[in-house]
Structure 1
């Protein structure tokens, strides 16, 4: 019975991963169905439930239970302080929980794709990369992906999926970096930063063989951080310096970042609650927090035009307070520590790249809680599942 479950589990996950990549990443904006990522998360929860019933090893469910418990605390806390309307709280609860469920359910299911399945995914990724390149040349206004940043993250998701299927030979690395280079068409400064980080880190991994905590490694990461900041300096100055120096009307990103810091102090230690700040739910069901902090009149943050409320990830952490921020980075610390114990340097490098991608991406996008963020976290879980 167990062997049949393992066989069907691996095949079913392979179909899910393929469908998730096509409909949850490549075609997501084109088909206009906004609930693909929610359905993906629901599928993983149901899948994990079936596997749990078969294994009956309930200790393996502790990480999933812990994450759900943390979010349930914030769920009831938000109702207690009335952070927004009940429907806004429920919507944001599902949005914030979704990426963590995707990661931990994948680790729990622990699928093992076969060589032929990985070969199929590799061919699919290279075919989609060719399509993305052609589309980037002819679709100069990015109508297919709605926005150049979504085009860039689709390229990154393709890069990570192919990376999971790769053996990390020099030829594989050349192909991976060639695919990642397609994203330069997006002209996004944050992508330039990630691109140069990926090149240096992958070359370093191949030449040195292992990422160690040493003076050499620290100097490498200082250089990487400096180059990333230099490549993104124009957008950082535009969004976070010029905006704050505008005495008449502060721009949306600086306003959101500064207000989030005020919220951390005013709502110490658990934040302003779900659906209250920096999220789609807080814009859809306009949160009273924006008026309370006097930013509801700013362009892009007003009730009539809330387009830039969820334009970055880090401000929304104010909903969870100082405790929530500590928990978020504790999550990444646990992921990096888990990868550091792996014997394969390629896995360490791959996990570190995913962490750095979200670290950079969170400055000017909420990808972590969106469809492409969910897919990349599923790949992260897939990478770490053998060492769960």
Structure 2
């Protein structure tokens, strides 16, 4: 329970600690020191991904999609490669105000994420470019046109995946977890069934008693067993929040996310680069939340640490010391 409670809160803890503990200590050039490292990483990922996608791969590859296998290089899963690429991309994007040639490395990482064939990463990258073109390149201020375009583009790009996991496959793991999560929230109204009880990795690892009640039998070949067909005992983000914390917890979580978004949106007129990167990070996690543990994912902590640091720079930038007379 304690581990799960920390898992559910750590993204916000990382964000707040990075934001509050560095106030007045950083400036917008803070990430200059690792810009070259990020470029080197981008080139390495790009070259290796192209090689493994179109030639005899040096590293294990995942499932075949479209025209080649999903690349994952030396990572455990293509999702980890996509998230690592996304984090490096965010740093390059933040430094773009001073290093315009970073765009070439951003494009390299975009190609890497496309070759992982993770729909979430591809949609998130699409959003990053839309936000850049609209707010940074053309300096538009209104949120409505880009909001409509982003939602429409996301719906178009993500339709196949949502249809596959929530419509076509009648008893997909994600659909089952979502439906049962809602039912649990209703049964344990308003505070839910508690941490470590449903849909999280801890619930799966220690095999929550709720799983047996729901007919989730632990078998290695199909995950949920004969009673409930599917692939995973823990798979998506929202069922965790809804079931474990109830409708009250869901409301509180959404309120926290909305408050973060409001702060970021209000910054668009004062620092468009911070706005671009910060909003892209939040958009990425929100998009990912419909298909994975997202905000609770271990690799998401790097993004929220970065978000906290750039928010600290935006809110309380370090003042240059005046030269002595």
**Equivalent residue number for residue 48 of structure 2:** 135
Q: 1:164 aligned to 2:94?
A: yes
Q: CA deviation at 1:363?
A: 1.2
Q: CA deviation at 1:314?
A: 1.4
Q: Tell me how far apart the structure 2 counterparts of residues 332 and 97 of structure 1 sit (CA, whole Å).
A: 12
**Equivalent residue number for residue 320 of structure 2:** none
Q: 1:97 aligned to 2:6?
A: no
Q: 1:273 aligned to 2:194?
A: yes
Q: Please say if residues 273 and 320 of structure 1, whose CA atoms lie closer than 8 Å, have aligned partners that are also in contact.
A: yes
Q: 1:358 aligned to 2:285?
A: yes
Q: Please say if residues 211 and 348 of structure 1, whose CA atoms lie closer than 8 Å, have aligned partners that are also in contact.
A: no
Distance change (3 Å), C-alpha of 1:227 and 1:117: closer
Pick aligned residue for 1:301 from 202, 224, 228: 224
Q: Tell me how far apart the structure 2 counterparts of residues 211 and 181 of structure 1 sit (CA, whole Å).
A: 29
RMSD: 2.5
Q: 1:148 aligned to 2:73?
A: no
Q: CA deviation at 1:195?
A: 1.8
**Equivalent residue number for residue 43 of structure 1:** none
Q: Residue 278 of structure 1 aligns to a residue in which SS?
A: coil
Q: CA deviation at 1:291?
A: 2.3
**Equivalent residue number for residue 136 of structure 2:** 206
CA displacement 1:140-189 (0-9 Å, x = unmatched): 51362111111111111111122333327754445434433321110112
Q: Residue 235 of structure 2 aligns to a residue in which SS?
A: coil
Question: TM-score of the superposition, structure 2-length normalised?
Answer: 0.81
Q: Tell me how far apart the structure 2 counterparts of residues 227 and 121 of structure 1 sit (CA, whole Å).
A: 33
Q: 1:221 aligned to 2:147?
A: yes
Q: 1:185 aligned to 2:115?
A: yes
**Equivalent residue number for residue 184 of structure 2:** 263
Q: CA deviation at 1:242?
A: 1.3
Q: Please say if residues 14 and 301 of structure 2, whose CA atoms lie closer than 8 Å, have aligned partners that are also in contact.
A: yes
Q: CA deviation at 1:341?
A: 3.2
Q: 1:288 aligned to 2:209?
A: yes
Q: Residue 166 of structure 1 aligns to a residue in which SS?
A: helix
Unpaired runs of at least 5, structure 2 = 53-58, 62-71, 317-325
Question: TM-score of the superposition, structure 1-length normalised?
Answer: 0.69
**Equivalent residue number for residue 172 of structure 2:** 251
Q: Please say if residues 272 and 321 of structure 1, whose CA atoms lie closer than 8 Å, have aligned partners that are also in contact.
A: yes
Distance change (3 Å), C-alpha of 1:165 and 1:368: same
Q: Residue 169 of structure 2 aligns to a residue in which SS?
A: helix
Q: CA deviation at 1:282?
A: 0.0
Pick aligned residue for 1:313 from 237, 249, 270: 237
Pick aligned residue for 1:333 from 249, 255, 258: 258
Q: Tell me how far apart the structure 2 counterparts of residues 135 and 225 of structure 1 sit (CA, whole Å).
A: 33
CA displacement 1:1-26 (0-9 Å, x = unmatched): xxxxxxxxxxxxxxxxxxxxxxxxxx
Figure out how many residues of one structure are paired with residues of the other and give that number: 290
CA displacement 1:176-226 (0-9 Å, x = unmatched): 3443332111011222211211111111112342543xxxx3232222212
CA displacement 1:328-351 (0-9 Å, x = unmatched): 121121112222333112222222
Q: Tell me how far apart the structure 2 counterparts of residues 379 and 364 of structure 1 sit (CA, whole Å).
A: 23
Pick aligned residue for 2:168 from 226, 242, 251: 242
